[in-house]
Structure 1
Amino acid sequence: MAVIWESIKHLYAYLAVVPILPFAIVLFGYGAYIQDRKKAFRLAMDITTAFLIGCVAVLFDSLFSSQFGIYGILLFMLLGGGLLGNAQFRKRGSIDAKKIFRTVWRLSFFTMSILYVVFMCIVIGKLVLTA
């Protein structure tokens, strides 16, 4: 059982380092299977977000020498969900939790993508300058 768990952790780590790989695999693989590019793109976004969150958290922790990366990301996601839920309740009088979760998750994809690029550029710049 421990070997399987370690294998899963290693696979996640490898895919999280270069999140464009799982995005491309899901986009083209699932897109070829169902013949619906829009649905494949959304699924690719959803799956890649999980990898981006892990990678951005690790990059944040290493850049700023902290252990707050994953907690900060989750905090902002919860705050975004709360704000969206409040806006939805004020507008409609009820809350659709599934729609709020999906919106926060997809907004996190764009935010994490930008942070991934910025943090990777900083890390690569630090490595080049110290070498």
Structure 2
Amino acid sequence: MGALWDKIEWLYSLIALIPILPFAIVLFGYGAYIQNRKKALLLAMDVSNAFFILCVAALFNMLFDSNFGLYGILLVMILGGGLIGNAQFRKRGNVDVKRVFRAIWRMSFFAMTALYLVFMIILIGRVVFTVA
């Protein structure tokens, strides 16, 4: 049982380290299965966003030497959901929580992708240029 758990942990670490992998796997695997690129792209975004959030939180913690990464991301997502929900309530008179959650989740995918690229470039540059 311990060896199986170690392999699962290793596989998750690999996927979490490179969150583009689950995106590509879901995009091409599910896309080949259902033959609908738009649905496959949306599902790939939804699945890989969880990995991007955890990876960006870890990169933030490493870059700024803190433990606030995941909490900061969740705080921004909750605040964004509140703002979108408030705008929706003012416009329509009610809040569709499912649509608000989906909007925040998809917007956070783009933000996490951009932050992942920026933090990786900074950390790789820090490693390369501080070795000398």
Whether these two folds match at TM > 0.5 is: yes
Q: Which residue does the alignment assign to 2:24?
A: 24
Q: 1:82 to 1:4 in 2, by over 3 A?
A: farther
Provide closer, same or farther for how the CA distance between residues 3 and 73 of structure 1 changes in structure 2, counting only shifts above 3 A.
farther
Post-superposition shift, 1:7? 4.6
Gaps of 5+ in 1: none
Map of 1:1-131 to 2, 5 A cutoff? 7-131=7-131
Report the residue type matching 1:19 in the other structure.
P
Residues 57 and 70 of structure 1 are in contact (CA less than 8 Å); yes or no, is this contact kept in structure 2? yes
Taking only the aligned residue pairs, the percentage that are identical comes to 64
Q: CA 1:5–1:84 in structure 2 vs 1: closer, same or farther (change >3 Å)?
A: farther
* Counterpart amino acid of residue 35 in structure 1: Q
Contact residue 27 and residue 44 of structure 1 kept, 8 A: yes
Cα deviation, residue 16, structure 1? 1.4
Partner AA of 1:77 in structure 2: M
TM-score normalised to structure 1 length: 0.94
* Distance of 1:12 and 1:38 partners within structure 2: 26
* CA distance in 2 between partners of 1:120 and 1:126 (Å): 10
Is the alpha carbon distance of 1:83 and 1:9 closer, same or farther for their aligned partners in structure 2, counting shifts above 3 Å?
A: farther
CA distance in 1, matches of 2:84, 2:4: 39
**What are the ranges of 5 or more consecutive residues in structure 2 without an aligned counterpart?**
none
Residue 39 and residue 2 in structure 1: after superposition, are their counterparts in 2 closer, same or farther (change >3 A)? same
For residues 18-51 of structure 1, what are the alpha-carbon distances to aligned partners after superposition, in whole Å with 9 as ceiling and x for unaligned?
Answer: 1111110000000000000000000000001000
Letter in 2 for 1:56: V
Per-residue CA distance 1:60-111 (angstroms, 9 max, x = gap): 0000000000000000000000000000000000000000000000000000
State the distance in 2 between where 1:74 and 1:8 align. Answer: 26
The DSSP-based 3-state class of the residue aligned with 1:95 is coil
Between the aligned partners of 1:29 and 1:90, the Cα distance in structure 2 is: 41
User: In the comparison of the two structures, how many residue pairs are matched?
Assistant: 131
CA distance in 2, matches of 1:58, 1:6: 21
